[in-house]
């Protein structure tokens, strides 16, 4: 096993081992502080971080406003106060060791404001900002203004080229590295482009070589590439370490640090991951952001898959194909294919009696309870995303102008719930495709939950 040497990240010599930021409440001040204390880079999630009062109590995110746009402002203010309080916790734990980064999902509504105001409120405590899910054009300018390093998360060399040409070249000195996140392996949202096939994974090596080629062309031959997605043990990555073709690399761990003593997620979620089997994680496109994402196939995902499988096309007007008039509400009927009549009856028979339209001129079938939950969650929307397919909310205009899509879900509601001890079967449980390795890795024998110190040492030793 090759030894992994410290490199310069965000202005300090640290181990090139990075805790991938995870929202909501998948990484926090405590987890990132302990990761940095080991001499690595800890990452606090800025997606609705939990606010901790000066006396150490949790301030729950409760919304009081009646209007969505105002609840959205409440959410932003909670996130800023939460982010600052978590940065202080991370700093206190890490001391002067390692580095502390923050992570933001660029497609969150007002993500820039949250980053800027957290950097202002936690001045000197944060060394870098990582941003993915979308093209974070303004990240360089924000980092330069606040004298911190920035790290775009991309899944192809092409994305880096676009970002560089459009904006990053003006802020080159603050660009600390680029995170290459394997879209077929990483947990959470994945950056698969339309040209890439979710069912045909591509080897990371060639894509990383392509990225290094592009970085060299852009005049960045020594910029660290942070490899994320499917990273478990460094012994699997020997060919990538000290490889002159690839240049300087670091490794980001997303799924593996979730089972540590300091990880903020519930024991039930940890055990779900501990016993996951190969193939339990699926790459799918149900997220209201429109991105692909990878999560454990629990009841939550199985229900969405069922809903999608039972979907049928419809038309507002009669056509040669759509001839059968089907009532979908007390005041509306649409046309479906006559051969789908029996399917509708079957769905009703199974309890899926609520028939709802999607923006793609299809119908889905829901139980009355499912429909009630969708209505409640839409009514309680806090406008967390810049554009949301589930509720039709748009930060810019109030509405996307499209029909809200019942094939998706409220990501704020479900991640907030599972991130704070909620049901692990009926919420979205993001995880990387290597999650099955917990079950056989000796570090976790007899359901052992290691501390971050134990995990960090195991990783350094190639385990």
Ligand X SMILES: Cc1cc2nc3c(=O)[nH]c(=O)nc-3n(C[C@H](O)[C@H](O)[C@H](O)COP(=O)(O)O)c2cc1C
Token pair, residue 342, equals: 């029996």
Nearest approach, Cβ of 47 to ligand X (angstroms)? Answer: 5
Residue 388 contact partner, candidates ligand SF4, ligand X, none, CB within 5 to 8 A by sort of partner:
ligand SF4
Note whether 10 binds ligand X by CB under 6 A. Answer: no
Q: Which is nearer to ligand SF4, 109 or 259 (CB)?
A: 109
Residue 382 contact partner, candidates ligand SF4, ligand X, none, CB within 5 to 8 A by sort of partner:
ligand SF4
Residue 257 contact partner, candidates ligand SF4, ligand X, none, CB within 5 to 8 A by sort of partner:
none
Stretch that binds ligand X, among 211-219, 369-377, 394-402, 424-432 (CB under 6 A): 424-432
- Residues that bind ligand X (rule: CB under 6 A) add up to a total of 28
Note whether 430 binds ligand X by CB under 6 A. Answer: yes
Note whether 438 binds ligand SF4 by CB under 6 A. Answer: no
Q: Which is nearer to ligand X, 97 or 103 (CB)?
A: 103
Q: Which of 160, 411, 431, 452 binds ligand SF4 (CB under 6 A)?
A: 411
Closest CA to 414 of 315, 288, 323: 288
Nearest approach, Cβ of 390 to ligand SF4 (angstroms)? Answer: 5
Nearest approach, Cβ of 120 to ligand X (angstroms)? Answer: 21
Stretch that binds ligand X, among 210-218, 242-250, 251-259, 298-306 (CB under 6 A): 251-259
What is the footprint of ligand SF4 within residues 351-410 (CB under 6 A)?
381-385, 388, 390-391, 393, 410
Note whether 288 binds ligand SF4 by CB under 6 A. Answer: yes
Closest CA to 272 of 152, 420, 120, 436: 436
Contact positions vs ligand SF4 (CB under 6 A): 288, 381-385, 388, 390-391, 393, 410-413
Contact positions vs ligand X (CB under 6 A): 20-23, 26, 45, 47, 103, 105, 132, 153, 181, 185-188, 228-231, 252-255, 430-432, 434
């Amino acid at each position: 096993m090759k030894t992994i040497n410290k490199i310069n990240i965000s202005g300090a010599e640290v181990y090139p081992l990075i805790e991938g930021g995870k929202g909501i409440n998948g990484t926090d001040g405590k987890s990132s502080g302990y990761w940095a204390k080991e001499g690595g880079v800890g990452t606090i999630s800025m997606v609705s971080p939990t606010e901790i009062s000066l006396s150490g109590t949790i301030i729950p995110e409760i919304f009081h406003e009646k209007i969505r746009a105002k609840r959205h402002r409440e959410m932003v203010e909670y996130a800023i106060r939460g982010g600052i309080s978590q940065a202080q916790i991370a700093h206190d734990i890490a001391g002067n060791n390692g580095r502390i980064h923050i992570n933001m999902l660029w497609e969150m509504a007002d993500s820039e404001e949250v980053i800027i105001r957290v950097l202002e409120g936690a001045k000197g405590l944060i060394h870098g900002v990582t941003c993915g899910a979308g093209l974070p054009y303004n990240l360089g300018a924000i980092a330069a203004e606040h004298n911190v390093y920035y790290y775009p998360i991309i899944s192809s060399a092409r994305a880096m080229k676009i970002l560089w040409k459009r904006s990053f070249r003006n802020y080159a000195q603050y660009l600390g590295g680029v995170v290459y996140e394997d879209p077929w392996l990483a947990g959470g949202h994945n950056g698969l482009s339309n040209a890439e096939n979710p069912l045909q994974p591509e080897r990371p090596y060639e894509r990383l070589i392509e990225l290094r080629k592009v970085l060299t062309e852009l005049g960045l031959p020594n910029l660290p590439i942070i490899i994320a997605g499917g990273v478990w043990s460094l012994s699997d990555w020997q060919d990538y370490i000290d490889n002159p073709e690839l240049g300087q690399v670091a490794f980001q761990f997303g799924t593996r640090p979730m089972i540590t003593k300091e990880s903020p997620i519930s024991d039930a979620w940890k055990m779900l991951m501990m016993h996951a089997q190969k193939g339990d994680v699926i790459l799918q496109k149900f997220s209201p952001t429109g991105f692909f994402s990878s999560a454990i196939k629990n009841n939550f995902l199985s229900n969405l898959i069922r809903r999608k499988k039972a979907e049928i096309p419809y038309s507002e007007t009669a056509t040669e194909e759509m001839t059968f008039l089907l009532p979908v509400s007390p005041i509306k009927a649409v046309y479906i294919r006559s051969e789908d009549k029996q399917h509708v009856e079957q769905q009703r028979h199974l309890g899926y009696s609520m028939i709802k339209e999607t923006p793609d001129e299809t119908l889905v079938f829901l139980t009355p309870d499912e429909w009630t939950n969708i209505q409640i969650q839409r009514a309680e929307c806090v406008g967390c995303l810049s554009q949301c397919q589930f509720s039709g909310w748009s930060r810019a205009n109030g509405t996307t102008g499209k029909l809200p899509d019942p094939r998706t879900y409220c990501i704020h509601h479900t991640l907030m719930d599972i991130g704070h001890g909620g049901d692990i079967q009926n919420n979205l449980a993001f995880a990387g495709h290597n999650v099955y390795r917990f079950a056989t890795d000796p570090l976790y024998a007899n359901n052992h939950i290691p501390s971050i110190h134990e995990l960090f040492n195991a990783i350094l030793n190639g385990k």
